[in-house]
Amino acid sequence: MMRALAVVLAASSVLLLASCASGPKLPDPTPLTPVASILQAKTAWKTSIGPVPATFSTAVAAGSVVVASSDGTVERLDANTGRTIWRSKIAGGITAGTGSDGTFTAVVNSHNQVVSLGPQGQVLWLYQLPTSVITAPAVVDGTIAVQGADQRLWAFNAANGQKLWTADSRAPALLLQQASGITPQAGSLLVGTALGRIESISAATGAVQWQATLARPRGITEVERVVGITGAPSVAASMVCARAYQSVVGCADLDTGRLLWADKADGDTGISQNGDLLLATQGDGVVQAYSAVDGAKRWSNDQLKYRKLSAPLLVGVTVAVGDYQGYITFLSAKDGKLIGRVSTDGAAIRSPLVISGNTIVAVTSDGGVFGFLPQ
């Protein structure tokens, strides 16, 4: 039975709250109904890597994807064919992954060590961190950036392990045991924090360039005051958008951090946006579309309620979401109507779906990795 988990981090005085904390029993998942195959998706390839926690991310780089499992497997796959480019094994398992720039790849192992992998998947170096890590490292232009569970940031030279800079960030008394994210953007790192903020950090120096507050802690108890950013900030056009845990979704100006809009939204998965439309899956399984410009609601779909949906993936005129039974349902980005569905291995899809070229890649909790070509 799921329950709240609070542990004291060895190197800090904050508490870590499991995002699967117990609450009122949800209604039964909505049964799936037949969908007119307006959009068909061909299974281009499939493979398996081992168990994958919901906090893990799939890295997209140079026509490939890099996936990891908690048992220590890291694998780079050709996104078009599923061919293994390299495969590596990290002793003792992995707690955070995966980041890659196509040359270097980074994960964090079960000993809280940053692990840098080279172009062939070979281990280059390890660095011992003083805290645990949940969020996947980011790798950009040969630099690895890591966010600790206590909100501190580190940057390293991916080739030789030289520590480039560190940055402290104030952490609340209670932290969410759920990945936020680091999104590289034109010499900056856009970082989701536990204080409900997106921060723009200089990739070269670690200096804070601006802060955008999406949500502020409210409520009496520390649990009620949790507003950490969940999922990697999403960038398109001149905006960066994100979700604060069970609080709001919103967007800020990419250059200045000025908050453009924020709207109340109950959920704990990341969002997807293209500069015109923003998609979010709500806590009850409603798929909600907003105007990315001003937050006006465009449409909603409640046909997947309580199916424990993944973060949505917005691709052109299509929205894709995964569910707890391993199905991927496609919706029209125009009006939210269901237009197609494919299945995987029957295990939950909790890690965000990604796209590389024309291939949508899904990873299930049992470690199934699937490449689909929408047609």
| In the chain, domain spans | 34-53+277-375
Helix (H, G, I), strand (E, B) or coil at 46: strand
Residue-level pLDDT at 20: 46
Percent of the chain with pLDDT over 90: 82
What is residue 178's predicted lDDT score, i.e. its pLDDT? 67
Given its phi and psi angles, is residue 88 left (phi above 0), alpha (psi -120 to 50 degrees) or beta?
beta
Q: How far is CA 111 from CA 129, 131, 186, in A?
A: 9, 10, 32
Q: What is the pLDDT of residues 332-360, one digit of tens each?
A: 999 999 999 999 999 999 999 999 999 99
pTM of the model: 0.91
Asked if the model's pLDDT at residue 212 lies above 50, the reply is: yes
Read off the pLDDT band of 177 (50, 70, 90). Answer: low
Tokens of 46: 């499939």
Q: Are 265 and 280 in contact (CB under 8 A)?
A: yes
What is the C-alpha to C-alpha distance for residues 177 and 150, in angstroms, rounded to an integer?
11
pLDDT digits (tens, 9 = 90+) for 127-165: 999 999 999 999 999 999 999 988 999 999 999 999 999
Write the pLDDT tens digit of every residue in 316-325. 999 999 999 9
More confident residue, 280 or 18: 280
Provide the pLDDT confidence category of residue 3 given band limits of 50, 70 and 90. Answer: very low
User: Hey, what CATH class is 34-53+277-375 in?
Assistant: mainly beta
User: Would you state the pLDDT for residue 170?
Assistant: 67
Cα–Cα distances in Å, from 352 out to 93, 277, 365? Answer: 21, 18, 11
Task: State yes or no: cis peptide before 256, omega within 30 of 0.
Answer: no
Predicted pLDDT at 6: 32
CA–CA–CA angle 325, 329, 334 (5° rounding)? 155
Mean pLDDT of 191-210: 95
The H or E element that residue 198 is part of is strand 197-202
Q: Shortest CA distance to 64 belongs to which of 119, 122, 124?
A: 119
Q: Tell me, what's the pLDDT at 217? A: 74
pLDDT bin (cut points 50, 70, 90) of residue 122 is: very high
